[in-house]
């Protein structure tokens, strides 16, 4: 069942969404060649605590850190580490989720480190475009599958692939709630959107022609592309309003 949030709950989701957006903006200038992903993690943890919030990923189903950092061929759920140093030409997705006053806000962006090849820059740009194409479909009375349909229509032109094993999700008191949000077109998402629904849109786009991914046997978390191609992702938490959509994780 998809939860319809009350006015009071929506106000709290606005607050936590804003904090998540501020956190991502705060860490962005530190995403530079030579820094470790653990350093980014620790900065985020500190900022979150100072703002009276909690890092939702920490201990979530045993996840060991406060944020996810996913470099190059890592699709999602990369674990920050002292030994993982950002290099010139890398792309890295930083995914932050904060818990404030009982509610979650979830957002991510892929950042460029130094000189990134033009074709990889294009992947990142187009992945962000795809996120907004999807979000722009959202309005009360429309079907949720319009989100995936718009993303697929846009992305298919480039020969990229849309990851299928992970999707967006309802969000609120729980980190992950119903509905599941596919980023490709499927009638499984034949859910009518109603004002007060809150969910994420977070397409993961692989540069290669395969959407197949694998999870690390070693750490149980890190998801990589099977073909080794690079993967980008952007994420927002959004609210269905009476008139359309409101991005809660935008500054």
Identify the sign of the CA torsion 219, 221, 225, 231: negative
Q: Which of 70, 75, 93 is nearest to 224 (CA)?
A: 75
Dist. CA 222–CA 35, nearest whole Å? 20
Dist. CA 14–CA 8, nearest whole Å? 10
Residue number, 106 or 189, with CB nearest to Co ion: 106
Collapsing DSSP to helix, strand or coil, 53 comes out as coil
Query: Nearest-CB residue to ligand MF3?
Result: 57
> Which residues are paired to 156 by β-bridges?
none
Dist. CA 97–CA 144, nearest whole Å? 23
Q: Show the site string, 117-136: x = touches ligand MF3 by CB under 6 A, - = not.
A: --------------------
Residue number, 102 or 117, with CB nearest to Co ion: 102
Give me the least distance between CB of 106 and Co ion, in Å please.
4
Q: Show the site string, 27-56: x = touches ligand MF3 by CB under 6 A, - = not.
A: ------------------------------
Collapsing DSSP to helix, strand or coil, 246 comes out as strand
Please report how many Cα atoms fall inside a 13 Å half-sphere around the Cα of residue 50, on the Cβ side. 9
For position 152 contacting ligand MF3 by CB under 6 A, the verdict is no
Interacting residue with ligand MF3 among 22, 41, 69, 97 (CB under 6 A): 97
For position 235 contacting ligand MF3 by CB under 6 A, the verdict is yes
Please report how many Cα atoms fall inside a 13 Å half-sphere around the Cα of residue 59, on the Cβ side. 2
Interacting residue with Co ion among 66, 70, 73, 95 (CB under 5 A): 95
For position 177 contacting ligand MF3 by CB under 6 A, the verdict is no
Give me the least distance between CB of 237 and ligand MF3, in Å please.
9
Q: Show the site string, 201-220: x = touches ligand MF3 by CB under 6 A, - = not.
A: -x------------------
- Residue 68, H or E segment: strand 68-71
Binding residues among 65-84 for ligand MF3 as defined by CB under 6 A: 68, 77
Give backbone dihedrals phi and psi of 95, rounded to 5 degrees, phi first: -115, 115
The footprint of ligand MF3 (CB under 6 A) covers 57, 60-61, 63, 68, 77, 95, 97, 106, 200, 202, 235
The footprint of Co ion (CB under 5 A) covers 95, 106, 108, 200, 235
């Amino acid at each position: 069942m998809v939860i319809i949030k009350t006015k009071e709950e929506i106000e709290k989701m606005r607050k936590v969404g804003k904090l998540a957006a501020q956190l991502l903006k705060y860490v962005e200038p530190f995403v530079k060649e030579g820094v470790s992903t653990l350093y980014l993690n620790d900065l985020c943890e500190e900022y979150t605590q100072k703002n009276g919030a909690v890092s939702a990923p920490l201990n979530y189903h045993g996840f060991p850190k406060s944020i996810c950092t996913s470099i190059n061929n890592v699709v999602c759920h990369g674990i920050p580490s002292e030994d993982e140093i950002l290099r010139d030409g890398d792309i890295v997705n930083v995914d932050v989720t904060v818990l404030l006053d009982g509610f979650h806000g979830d957002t991510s962006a892929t950042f460029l480190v130094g000189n990134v090849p033009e074709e990889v820059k294009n992947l990142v740009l187009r992945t962000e475009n795809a996120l907004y194409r999807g979000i722009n479909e959202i309005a009360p009375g429309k079907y949720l599958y319009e989100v995936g349909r718009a993303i697929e229509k846009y992305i298919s032109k480039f020969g990229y692939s849309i990851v299928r094993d992970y999707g967006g999700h309802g969000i609120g008191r729980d980190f992950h709630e119903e509905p599941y949000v596919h980023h490709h077109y499927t009638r499984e998402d034949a859910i009518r959107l109603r004002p007060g629904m809150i969910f994420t849109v977070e397409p993961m786009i692989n540069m290669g022609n395969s959407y197949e991914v694998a999870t690390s046997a070693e750490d149980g978390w890190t998801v990589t592309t099977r073909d080794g191609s690079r993967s980008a992702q952007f994420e927002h938490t959004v609210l269905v309003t009476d008139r359309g959509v409101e991005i809660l994780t935008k500054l």
